[in-house]
Amino acid sequence: MAKFPAKKRLAFTLVELLVVIAIIGILVALLLPAVQQAREAARRLTCTNQVRQMGLAVLNLESATGTLPSGGIHPWPKVPCYADNGKAFGPKKQGLSWAFQILPYFEEDAIFNLGTTSAVTGSPVNHYFCPTRRPPTFNDDDQAWLMDYTGLVPIPSRADFIKDTGSDSQFDGLLRVAGNGLTRGCTTGYGFWGITRFDDQLNGHRPMSKQQLGANYVGYHGVFMRSSYYNKGRANDTECRDEIEQLNYGSLITIGKIKDGTSKTAMITEKRLRLGETAGNGDDDRGWSDGWDVDTLRSTACQPRPDGPDQTGGWPAYALMTGSRHTSGMNTVFVDNHVQTINFDIDLETWNSMAHRKDGQQIDLGL
């Protein structure tokens, strides 16, 4: 009987094709999280390096001028009020932020010496944006480039209260968590403006001297001291009428004044922002050039949180929080320029002590 050759298969069957597609889909599903994790690791490393560069710039400024930068004077300072013929003043007379003051120390001299408010606020600084959160972002409403990092403003420590009042009960009250998940020190803005509670009229846009504040004054206890040089003269983009007032908050901080040690004292970290909100909110409007304000400074009386949509506690609580878009925590640089990741669930007294320059508590997280 004659044998016929077997017919050659010219294509996959539908079942085989579906099996192959399913296998490819499974492989993609398995690989995608690994790819995303690798990308986030790279972005987090970039963020870490940027924080470290800021810390190094702070130390270089200290070597050149003899002091660490100030935190500025008040929200929305005018550049000509803190410059002489277009040349920006150094830390002791500078009203703009610590982030402005360190510009010459990581090759941003050109922006530092622009001389007008619009030119300064209209200049991006790529170092000041965390790649996990967003690219360099401009606030069209206020014509200013924004910022993702912040200096730390601690409240007085337990030891400070015992020394001043003989009791630490008020300190415990400030850090006690209320029903909304926030501390009283955070919801009232205790200490952020150097006074007992947030009060814009008392010590915000038009700051008052230590003597005028009297018993309301609680001082500044972090690495970045608030400036005492206040030019309250009328100003525009290019000119300022000098009307100087000395606020007497105290001299700027030197390395020698950091009694808890440079490796134990935190100075710059990341700040929490609200998801889904456009640029231009009160906690994210003026950006890196702002003076003493929530754009460039945040309180350690508030529990750190990751970025989120909520405004728990209202103003100023949600605007005073540190945090980040990273799931692992906040990149934080200490005065000796080492960087640690601080978890969001850190004990709040520990967090405040880490930012306090001389509370006698040398915190070691073992990281």
DSSP string, 86-113: TEEP-GGG--S-HHHHTGGGGT-HHHHT
38/298: higher pLDDT: 298
Q: Is residue 217 situated within a structural domain?
A: yes
Residue 9 has pLDDT above 60, yes or no: no
> For 221-270, how does the pLDDT look when each residue is reduced to its tens digit (9 = 90+)?
999 999 999 999 999 999 999 999 999 999 999 999 999 999 999 999 99
Would residue 27 count as lying in a domain? no
pLDDT at res. 65? 96
Q: How far is Cα 261 from Cα 356, in angstroms, rounded to an integer?
A: 10
Instruction: Determine, yes or no, domain membership for 247.
Output: yes
298 within a domain of the structure (yes/no) = yes
Q: Please give the residue that has the higher pLDDT: either 98 or 198.
A: 98
Is 22 inside any structural domain? Answer: no
* pLDDT > 70 in the chain, percent: 92
Which uninterrupted H or E stretch holds 329? none
Domain count, the chain: 1
For residue 227, the enclosing domain spans: 33-355
Provide φ and ψ at 229, rounded to 5°. Answer: -95, 105
Query: What is the value of pTM for the model shown?
Result: 0.89
The three-class DSSP label of residue 8 is: coil
Please compute the mean of the pLDDT values over residues 20-36 and round it to a whole number: 75
Is residue 149 within 8 A of residue 269, CB to CB? The reply is yes
* % of the chain with per-residue pLDDT over 90: 72
pLDDT tens digits, one per residue of 143-181:
999 999 999 999 999 999 999 999 999 999 999 998 788
Task: Find the mean pLDDT for residues 182-200.
Answer: 92
For residue 291, pLDDT over 70 is answered with yes
Would the pLDDT of 4 be above 90? no
Query: Confidence class of residue 216 from pLDDT cuts 50, 70 and 90?
Result: very high
Residue 202 lies in a domain: yes
Q: Give domain status of residue 279, yes or no.
A: yes
Residue 313, pLDDT score = 77
Instruction: Tell me which of 365 and 296 has the higher pLDDT.
Output: 296
Evaluate whether 143 touches 121 at the Cβ level (below 8 Å): yes
